[in-house]
Amino acid sequence: MRPDLIDVLNAISRTFDAEVAPTVPEGLAKSQSNTISNLLRHATLRAELEGPTLAEDNEDLRAVLDDAAAYARGHADLAELADKLAAPCPTITGPAGYRGLAQVWEEAITLRWRLQHAIEQLQAVRPAHRHEAAYGQLRDAIRGYLDRQLAREGQWITPAFTGPRR
């Protein structure tokens, strides 16, 4: 069996924590040792979870942006938002159709910029729309997405930064 990236990172982390970290003296070096240990755990979790998590997040965000586009199309004061959200957001692939982490991140950046623009536009028209049920539902959908996004990304952050820290 050939080790994959996760196996390699886990082996480095175990060796560092068992052999190197215990020999590091207190002070700045110990603080740096703790940081290295945390970052190795973080890199391992990201290598394992980031791609699938980000792809799931992109699909979730596409649905929220579709809802925002539908809402914007029904309101003249949100015509600019409707136009921006109507522009296709391609699924980005690399050479020979390969869809790696870099391509998923490029897609995420495009989608997240659109979300930022939608939030800004919805805030700008809030005085005129805040009493509409659909406006409140859309804001709730955006908040729900942001909660889910934080929970998804927390999977590769929170567990990595447990234990001794700087």
Mean pLDDT per 10-residue segment, the chain (166 residues): 87 93 91 90 89 92 95 94 86 73 90 96 96 97 97 83 66
Q: Are 165 and 34 in contact (CB under 8 A)?
A: yes
Asked if the structure places residue 166 within a domain, the reply is no
Asked if the structure places residue 120 within a domain, the reply is yes
Domain count, the chain: 1
Asked if the structure places residue 108 within a domain, the reply is yes
19 lies in which domain range? Answer: 5-161
Asked if the structure places residue 99 within a domain, the reply is yes
Q: pLDDT at position 166, please?
A: 58
Q: pLDDT at position 94, please?
A: 67
Query: Could you tell me which of 31, 33, 37, 29 has the C-alpha nearest to residue 12?
Result: 37
- Cα separation, 9 vs 37, in Å, equals 11
Q: pLDDT at position 134, please?
A: 96
Structure tokens at 77: 């004061």
Going 73 to 75 to 79 to 82, the CA torsion angle's sign is negative
The whole model's pTM is what? 0.81
Asked if the structure places residue 64 within a domain, the reply is yes
Centre a 10 Å sphere on the Cβ of residue 68 and count the other Cβ atoms it contains. 26
Q: pLDDT at position 108, please?
A: 93
* CA 91 from centroid of its chain's CA atoms: 17
Q: How many CA atoms lie within 13 A of 128 on its CB side?
A: 8
Q: pLDDT at position 113, please?
A: 95
DSSP state of 162: -
Contacts of 36 (CB under 8 A, 6+ apart): 16, 21
Q: pLDDT at position 158, please?
A: 78
Here the contacts of 1-8 (C-beta below 8 Å, separation 24 or greater) are 5/47, 6/44, 6/47, 6/48
